[in-house]
Structure 1
Amino acid sequence: MFLRHAVADVCQIAIRCRIVILSVCRPTVGFIERRFSSKMSSMKFAISLVCPEGNHDPIKLPHRELVYVGRSPDTRIVDPRCSRKQLQLTADLNSGDVQAVQLGQNSSALDGIEMIKDKVYTMKPTSTLHVLTGCFPQKLDVKKLKESDDKKHRHKSASDVETTNHERSKHRSSSSGSTPKSSGTSSLKSSGYGSSSNSSLSGSKSKSSSTDSSSKSSNKRPSSGEINNSAAKKPKLNGDGHSGRKSSSKDFAENDDDSEHMKDVAAKLQLLKSSAKNKKTPTKSSTSSHRELKAPENPAKQETSTTKNGPVSKGPAPESRWDQYDTLYVFTAKGLESRRKVAAFDIDGTIITTQSGKVFPTHPGDWRLVYYKDIPKKLKKLHEEGYKVVFITNQMGVSRGKTNIADLKSKFIDLVDDIGIPIQILVSTKSGLYRKPCPGMWNFLTEKLNGGIEVELSQSFYVGDAAGRPKDWAPKKKKDFSCSDRLFALNIGIEFKTPEEYFLGYPSTKYSMPEFDPRKISPKTQLLDPADARLTSGSMEVILLAGFPASGKSFFAKKYLEPKGYVVVNRDTLKTWQKCVALCKDSLKKGKSVVVDNTNPDVESRARYIQAASASGAPCRCFVFTTSFEHAKHNERFREIIDKTHDAINDMIMNSFKKKYVLPEKKEGFSEVVKVNFVPKFKDPKLEELYRKFLLEK
């Protein structure tokens, strides 16, 4: 009995001491909470992670707290390749930016570019994050907070907080609902509000029941559903996220209002410490968030075995993946093998068309197989016969901002899944070497993506709908938009078929080839016409060049005339025709001959230099370049491919010149009109080989 009374007295003393300490600390606590409240009121944004495909509910991102995204009920991702902590996200609710770090072994992607493991990337509101490359897209939902929202948590006193906590405790104790168990997707490092019961401080009976509840969990300990329900009803620290701290049995043993109050303050202090630490700790540089995967210079040859269908790779692709090589994107399906025979297909208009019936898809899901019965059947048969099935497509809309590369990747993955065989897809996203009809994608496929196995051209073929067919090539059929697919196969040297010929057995039909054929250009062509025309003169003169952009004028002036002492007048350098005329006059005054290296399309522009020559007593000859409009466009495309520094001349400029161009005549005041033929000269045989390919779609 004596021992029981002694224990009771000690407990009473401890309670009184605790109350005194709390009363002394209350002013400090109030100050801290006011600082905390003021800090939280300064947040400018509310940020959530959302799935554009609607696969999961928004995942809120708290301020400067770590959130892990991966395989979990929150994201509804069940793919075993995806780690539970695949990505780590940290949101800044002041700037609206989110830092993303890949933690998982398999690659994630930001804006279509594969991420480097453990490297910090900055995710903008417009960014698209794929949890696995090409799969599970995520976007940021960034909302700007209104000033009225900020004021909700501004300048609360300690007594206000205590009252709020007391009311919240009553509400929790009276609530009996439950919520689904939360996952580890949003696992946050900072501490939050703990859960507690609402027992009174007074009376030894209450104390003993509280003690019993901590030791006899079978009677008093809340279930996991109740824990989550209690946590769900806690106020959010920043109006956006939750604390994420796991509740312990100690939280439920603490059952008085002051304990609840102190735990809330401790949580806030912990958050402030965490925020300060994050600010002081330097993060990895995120200036370069793009990684371009380089193709191996000398790809290792895969082991092969001989079958009735020819040699095939012994090592099929272990997993599906997307890779990027400059402006070329490559998808390799799991199980794909390198083979000697290749069956290649265009995609749009050949394998798929729009579900809506419009020329261009209205959304990523607006597609269907052109021949839903024949295509899977035929492609599966090709695979069984030892062909490597490859899709090769131009997608210029990506570089022009009209097509989202992430949506395109997702669509193509769905397409491969629907067909049901391993397929490789090459996607050209910009003009240049990889754009059909240029053979760049095919060369890359055979040299870098086929495991060192040489492709047999005589047994390979290409199918595409851009075949140069005129209107009504079949009843009520439109004219083909270009001839790029037919020219692509011609450049490679493989058999070509249209989708109707290959899938439906249609007979071959008429088609038109481009007016300019680069294969017919001869290096033996006579340079000047007439043949006896002089290239240069022994006396002072003006030579005016006229012809399409990219017809060879600048090359001619620098190779043949500038070395002979002619002053080159060029508007690309001087910017205005007035400066060009001034330089021409000044050079003539010094007794120097001049070559005017401009397009000079009309009589008016040419008359300026004829007058300048006449005023100096010098003759003016006109050298007219015979390069056709189509030939000039071919030259321009060739320069664009081989010279990355070249400022491309767009079609609008070429077409504008074509409309204004008036063929020069001697009666304009020229002493002679000489025709200049295009004679190609190449030091590199590979460049000459490329030049003689069809480079234009039409």
Structure 2
Amino acid sequence: MAGSPNPSKRKFALDAPISPPPLKRKVQSTITQSAVASFFTPTSSKPPTPPQKVVWMEQSPDDNTPSTLLVGKYQPPNDSNSPQTTMAEEKRRKVAAFDFDSTLITTKSGKKFASDAQDWKWWHQSVPDILRKLYHDEGYRVVIISNQGGLSLTADTKAKAPKANRTTKLTSFKTKASTVLSQLGIPMSIYAATGKDIYRKPRTGMWKELLEDYDIHIPGDLDLENSIFVGDAGGRTARNVGITFHTPEEFFLHEAPREFERSFEPSDYLPDFSAAEVPDVYSKKNDQEVVIFCGSPGADNTNADSDVRSKWVELAGKHNVQIRLRALNPTMNPEKRDILPGLAFKMFSSRYQRPAISEGFQDITEVKFKFDGNEAEREIWSRYWT
């Protein structure tokens, strides 16, 4: 079971049990055939007992930031104090992490997004038994890590949706997740990232939180080689944390792995430069000269096409001075960012024309990106962030 979080770091919001209250029954009782059958059914064959409570917590990246990570912890009833459970938990060095939607469950309605808390079914009928086997037979610690951008843990004053809608979505998700956890019937946690911050996959915030919650320290307490992540996002999360990735089809249906090539590999943009390969970015050649930049968003976002650049060439010619150009990181930056959205890159690329000497420049120097940092910083730069 997860260790106690550090109270100085996290914000807690323990919910009351979300299971519905027991129905009031009449004095007279009717015994159904299903009840009789259940009485004689072996305990091992009965479905898991619904939870008495799922403990929900909210966590924030730091003390000055609103909560954006929702964590639900489930322990089967009458199992939390079991010596066998405690011993088993202490020995678990392998983590089996799963995405939630389109991996463990899908909508019953067939819609892309669930219409309510009951609109779900297992992604495949084999899912529950496979997860129970991972926990009981193979010694895995089973967790769910999921991006849930449609949820909000705090009121957004700029949001157009009413507060009631935010609360309804959050309650519906908790109800659905609690039902899933109770049907699985094994000790496990679900982590849901609701913001676009360090917790959101493929960033590693949720992974680090679960390791801290379970008091797992790398490398001694974690078997990275045999830990796995199952999801449908191209394996970027698994690549960032260094564990094996499987698609749901590969893991649950035993389909052969599909060959794929990522269109963007961060490490490809961190080449090792020798001193001789680093270009001389700027050395003054003339008593007076004009130097202009040409670069995409994130580097410059100016002078994309010849029409714009011609204005500077004309100005330099009017004053009879040389004009030079520095092309910043001429390979288009492929990533999308919150501060610089994908549309900004797309618009720049659509009007970009490669600079040419014939436009009137004395010279053109291409200034490629050069990473400057230690190995730990290089490892961070090599991760997927979106």
Fold match by TM threshold 0.5: yes
1:679 is aligned, of 365, 370, 386, to 370
C-alpha spacing 1:426/1:535, structure 2 compared with 1 (3 Å): farther
Partner of 1:405: 170
Give yes or no for contact 2:12–2:59 (8 Å, CA) kept in 1: no
Structure 2: distance between partners of 1:549 and 1:504: 43
C-alpha spacing 1:625/1:408, structure 2 compared with 1 (3 Å): same
Compute the TM-score of the two structures, normalised by the length of structure 2.
0.72
Alignment of 1:379 with 2:131, yes or no, is yes
Aligned pairs for 1:460-499 (under 5 A) are: 460-466=227-233, 483=234, 486-499=235-248
2:256 is aligned, of 502, 507, 513, to 507
SS at match of 1:675: strand
C-alpha spacing 1:686/1:440, structure 2 compared with 1 (3 Å): farther
Partner of 1:441: 206
Give yes or no for contact 1:627–1:678 (8 Å, CA) kept in 2: no
Gaps of 5+ in 1: 1-112, 117-129, 138-179, 181-317, 467-482, 554-597, 641-647
Aligned-pair distance for 1:340?
A: 1.3
Give yes or no for contact 2:286–2:322 (8 Å, CA) kept in 1: no
Structure 2: distance between partners of 1:367 and 1:550: 41
Deviation digits for residues 71-129 of structure 1, max 9, x if unmatched?
xxxxxxxxxxxxxxxxxxxxxxxxxxxxxxxxxxxxxxxxxx8559xxxxxxxxxxxxx
- Structure 2 letter corresponding to 1:622: L
Alignment of 1:689 with 2:379, yes or no, is yes
Structure 2: distance between partners of 1:115 and 1:440: 19
Give yes or no for contact 2:17–2:53 (8 Å, CA) kept in 1: no
Structure 1: distance between partners of 2:276 and 2:108: 55
Partner of 2:54: 320
Structure 1: distance between partners of 2:277 and 2:245: 39
- Structure 1 letter corresponding to 2:292: L
Structure 1: distance between partners of 2:99 and 2:74: 17
Structure 1: distance between partners of 2:250 and 2:352: 42
C-alpha spacing 1:527/1:322, structure 2 compared with 1 (3 Å): farther
Partner of 1:653: 344
Aligned-pair distance for 1:510?
A: 1.9
Aligned-pair distance for 1:616?
A: 2.9
C-alpha spacing 1:432/1:632, structure 2 compared with 1 (3 Å): farther
SS at match of 1:621: strand
Structure 1: distance between partners of 2:241 and 2:13: 34
Structure 2: distance between partners of 1:687 and 1:532: 25
Structure 2: distance between partners of 1:527 and 1:650: 35
Partner of 2:47: none
Aligned-pair distance for 1:388?
A: 0.7
Partner of 1:543: 291
C-alpha spacing 1:398/1:540, structure 2 compared with 1 (3 Å): farther
C-alpha spacing 1:621/1:658, structure 2 compared with 1 (3 Å): same
Aligned-pair distance for 1:406?
A: 2.8
- Structure 2 letter corresponding to 1:492: V
Deviation digits for residues 168-223 of structure 1, max 9, x if unmatched?
xxxxxxxxxxxx9xxxxxxxxxxxxxxxxxxxxxxxxxxxxxxxxxxxxxxxxxxx
Partner of 1:356: 109
Aligned-pair distance for 1:533?
A: 6.7
Give yes or no for contact 1:528–1:676 (8 Å, CA) kept in 2: no
Aligned-pair distance for 1:532?
A: 6.3
Give yes or no for contact 1:547–1:624 (8 Å, CA) kept in 2: yes
Q: Which has the higher contact order (CA 8 A, sep 6+)?
A: 2
Partner of 1:457: 224
- Structure 2 letter corresponding to 1:381: K
Partner of 1:347: 100
C-alpha spacing 1:134/1:434, structure 2 compared with 1 (3 Å): farther
Report percent identity of matched pairs.
30
Structure 1: distance between partners of 2:58 and 2:171: 13
Give yes or no for contact 1:543–1:623 (8 Å, CA) kept in 2: yes
Partner of 1:619: 322
Aligned-pair distance for 1:462?
A: 0.9
Aligned-pair distance for 1:687?
A: 3.6
Aligned pairs for 1:6-155 (under 5 A) are: 132=16
C-alpha spacing 1:673/1:380, structure 2 compared with 1 (3 Å): same
Give yes or no for contact 1:526–1:677 (8 Å, CA) kept in 2: no
Give yes or no for contact 2:95–2:228 (8 Å, CA) kept in 1: yes
Structure 2: distance between partners of 1:606 and 1:520: 28
CA RMSD of aligned residues (A): 3.1
Partner of 2:72: 331
Structure 2: distance between partners of 1:607 and 1:136: 71
Structure 1: distance between partners of 2:197 and 2:214: 22
Judge which range, 620-629 or 389-398, deviates more: 620-629
Deviation digits for residues 38-92 of structure 1, max 9, x if unmatched?
xxxxxxxxxxxxxxxxxxxxxxxxxxxxxxxxxxxxxxxxxxxxxxxxxxxxxxx
Alignment of 1:414 with 2:104, yes or no, is no
Alignment of 1:609 with 2:312, yes or no, is yes
SS at match of 1:355: coil
C-alpha spacing 1:661/1:135, structure 2 compared with 1 (3 Å): farther
Aligned-pair distance for 1:443?
A: 2.2
2:358 is aligned, of 639, 663, 667, to 667
Structure 2: distance between partners of 1:394 and 1:534: 45
Partner of 1:44: none
Structure 2: distance between partners of 1:628 and 1:397: 34
Partner of 1:228: none
Which structure: larger Rg? 1
C-alpha spacing 1:614/1:136, structure 2 compared with 1 (3 Å): farther
Partner of 1:247: none
Partner of 2:195: 430
SS at match of 1:421: coil
Aligned-pair distance for 1:344?
A: 0.8
Structure 1: distance between partners of 2:56 and 2:297: 39
Structure 2: distance between partners of 1:528 and 1:324: 49
Judge which range, 334-343 or 605-614, deviates more: 334-343
Give yes or no for contact 2:18–2:54 (8 Å, CA) kept in 1: no
Structure 2: distance between partners of 1:513 and 1:413: 35
C-alpha spacing 1:546/1:320, structure 2 compared with 1 (3 Å): same
Compute the TM-score of the two structures, normalised by the length of structure 1.
0.41
Aligned-pair distance for 1:537?
A: 4.3
C-alpha spacing 1:658/1:498, structure 2 compared with 1 (3 Å): same
SS at match of 1:363: coil
Structure 2: distance between partners of 1:411 and 1:371: 17
Aligned-pair distance for 1:528?
A: 7.6
Give yes or no for contact 1:323–1:331 (8 Å, CA) kept in 2: yes
